[in-house]
Every structure is written in C-alpha cells, then in structure tokens.
Amino acid sequence: MQRKVRNVGAIWRSMLGMLWSKAAATTLGSLVASLVIAASGGQAQPAFPTRPMTIVVPAAAGGPTDTVARLIAEPMGRTLGQQIVVENVGGAGGTIGVGRVAKAAGDGYTLLVWHIGQSTAPSLYDNLRYDVFNDFDPIGRITDVPMTVVGKKSLAAKDIAELLTWLREKQDQVTYAHAGIGSASHLCGLMLMSALNIKMHAVVYRGTGPAMNDLVGGQFDVMCDQTTGTANQINAGTIKGFAATTQARIPLLAALPTLSEAGVKGFEVSAWHALWGPKGLPKEVVEKLTAALQGALREPVVIERMAGLATVPVAQDLATPAALKAQLEAEVAKWGAVIRAAGVKAN
Ligand code: ASP
C-alpha cells in the first residue's frame, strides 16, 4: 500500500513536471513570437530579401549612373545576403527605365538608381507616365557628382577660352552628345547653350557610356558629363578636359578651370544620384535597404573608388528616405524654374 502511494506520488510529480515544462516552453515560445512581432511593427513579416534583387539603371552600361549603381550593388547585396543584379534600361532620357520601376511591385526586389533627371523630367515632359513623388518610395541619396565639359582629342582648342570662342563661331556645326532629354548631359548642354546664346547640334545616346566610346573615337565634338564618366579619360589623355561645371575646381582635376572662371558667370550644375523603390515598400524593407545603402557608402573600397572618379559618398544622414525626399522636392522646384525660363520641352 505504502509502495503504491509512493508510486502514485511519483506519477503525479512527473505529470506535474511535464505540464510545467510544456507551460514554460509555451510561454517562452509566445514571448519570442511577441518579441518578433513587436520588432516587425505589430505584424509577423517574412524575411527580406529571400531571392535576388534588381537595380534598374535607366541608362546604358558603362556610363556614370551604371558605375555608381554597380559600386553600391555588390556591398548592399553582401549585407542583405542576396545578389543584386544591375539591369540597364536606357532610352528616352531615362524615362523608360524609371517608368519600369514605377510599375514594379512595391516589395523591394526592384529598385532604381537614377540621378538629377528625376527632378528635371516633370518639367521637361508633358506626358510623363509616372509621378516622381507618388510612384516611388525614397531610400537614400548616394553621391553628388561634379560635371565637366570635355571634347574629342583632335579639337584644335587648347583650353576653355579657345573652346568657347570656337563654339560661338561654329554654333550648330558643333556636334554635342547627350543621353536623351532630361539626362544630366542634356541639362548641362542646354544650360551651356543658353549661357553662350548658341545652338549646337545634338547627338543623342541611351547613356553617356556609349557616347564616351564615340568621343574617344572622335565621332562628335563635345559633351558635358559627370566625372564618374570623364575623369579617367581626361587623366588618360584619350579626350580633352576643358572645364568644371562646379562652383570650385575639382581637386582630382585641378587643372580644369570652372566655367565661371572662364567667364560663364554663375554656371553651376552637378549630378546627384539616389536610390528609390516603387511606391508601397513595407517600412521594414525600407529600413533594411537604407541600412544596407549606408553600409555600402561606409566601405573603404567604395570611398576609394569614388575618390578616383572625383566624388564622395554622401554623409550617412543624407543616405536616408527623408533626405532624399527633401532633395527631390528642392530640385524639382529649382530645375522647374530653370527649364520654364529656358522654354524647353521634350514633347
Ligand atoms: N551621364 C548620363 C546623363 O547624362 C547618364 C548615364 O549614362 O549615366 O544623364
């Protein structure tokens, strides 16, 4: 009997033990689950990213925007644990590629690296099929890139003064390249023509990467493009560098006077690049992308490669959605006024 009672006690103890450990496990489990849900803003979310991602560059491969996108794609992909493929969708001053991203799913798997053109297109195109504010979610700014006036090697002009004289003399016999209406090279060319009160003959490309190949080959006369496309060629002597379009000289290309110094007073344009996604990105996806972008911009190899192209990553607090939103608003207003004053339209 005594033995029986002891056995019943043992059974009870072991049953209670099982119940306790099950309850403890359940409590721990729900605690972990609620922490995960709390961390994800109240809703359980699938991990992001679970498959490769794409950055659309709305200009040809080998050009300045392509270079910037490829510089951040690799380190961002490493941080996020997925490959990021760069897809070049050039044409129509970038509006085809940008339009593609506007219509993509807002899940973070299709992103856009573009530039100042995002702020000029609304004023240049009457029938733009996207809205730069409402069809995109900003992720962050990447870099601001100075521009340069360059020419083919065989031009007789030795410096910017001689080039300006020649441009004024030859006018529309001069061929200048740009990457389509709304591109940075287009904007810079327009500003130069309006400042000099001349008209040059445009040769249009899907990006300034292919234009640069043709400039090295001497197939047109001049171009205004980002240092991310021109610095190496100027320094290698395959093209002629004439002037910087910035307020101050560019340290890496210190021999180039600014256009302002050369008498084109107040001339200033630089191209800024940024990262967007289509509208509707979940908050935690934006946060992950922003953190990955900031990480990429801190990488010594990215900083070093940008330095070699006469640029620097933006400060970390500018590689944020809020800073890009503010930048776009300011730039749309700024270039809208310039474009309206110049009376230019794409269509
Ligand atoms: N640099 C080009 C432009 O003029 C675009 C590009 O090829 O990156 O806008």
**pLDDT tens sequence for the chain (347 residues):** 344 444 434 434 443 344 344 444 444 444 444 444 444 445 555 699 999 999 999 999 999 999 999 999 999 999 999 999 999 999 999 999 999 999 999 999 999 999 999 999 999 998 899 999 999 999 999 999 999 999 999 999 999 999 999 999 999 999 999 999 889 999 999 889 989 999 999 999 999 999 999 999 999 999 999 999 999 999 999 999 999 999 999 999 999 999 999 999 989 999 999 999 999 999 999 999 999 999 999 999 999 999 999 999 999 999 999 999 999 999 999 999 888 887 777 76
Test site for ligand 1: of 56, 57, 65, 269, most ligand atoms within 8 A of the Cβ: 65
Pocket of ligand 1, candidates 56, 208, 228: which has the most ligand atoms within 8 Å of its Cβ, to mutate? Answer: 208
Categorise residue 181: left if φ over 0, alpha if ψ from -120 to 50, beta otherwise: beta
Residue having the nearest C-alpha atom to atom 5 of ligand 1: 207
Q: How far is the CA of 168 from the centre of ligand 1 (A)?
A: 25
- Burial of 214 per CB tally in 10 Å (0-12, 13-18, 19+): middle
Closest approach atom of ligand 1 to CA 93: 9
Q: For ligand 1, what atom is nearest to the CA of residue 115? A: 9
Instruction: Give yes or no for residue 148 CB within 6 A of ligand 1.
Output: no
Are 212 and 186 in contact by the 8 Å Cβ rule? The answer is no
What is the Å distance from ligand 1's center to 88 Cα? 12
- Rounded to whole angstroms, how far apart are CA atoms 119 and 333? 8
Distance 93 CA to ligand 1 centre (A): 9
Tokens of 290: 């922003």
Contact indicator for 319, 291 with CB cutoff of 8 Å: no
Closest among 278, 227, 326, 318 to 102, alpha carbons compared: 278
Q: Is 169 exposed, middle or buried (0-12, 13-18, 19+ CB in 10 A)?
A: exposed
Cα 179 to ligand 1 centre (Å):
6
311 lines ligand 1 (CB under 6 A): no
Ligand 1 atom nearest to CA at 66 = 8
pLDDT of residue 44: 56
CA of 58 to the centre of ligand 1 (A): 9
Ligand 1 pocket member 225 (CB < 6 A): yes
Q: For residue 182, how far is its CA from the centre of ligand 1 (angstroms)? A: 10
Is residue 184 within 8 Å of 225, Cβ to Cβ?
yes
Crossing angle, helix 321-342 and helix 117-124, to 10 degrees? Answer: 40
Half-sphere exposure of 105 (CA within 13 A, CB side): 6
What is the reported pLDDT for 17?
44
The residue length of the chain stands at 347
Please tell me the distance between residue 231's alpha carbon and the centre of ligand 1 in angstroms.
Answer: 14
The pLDDT value recorded for residue 15 is: 37
Our answer on whether the CB atom of 230 is closer than 6 Å to any ligand 1 atom is: no
For ligand 1, what atom is nearest to the CA of residue 208? 7
Across the strands, what pairs with 55? 86, 111
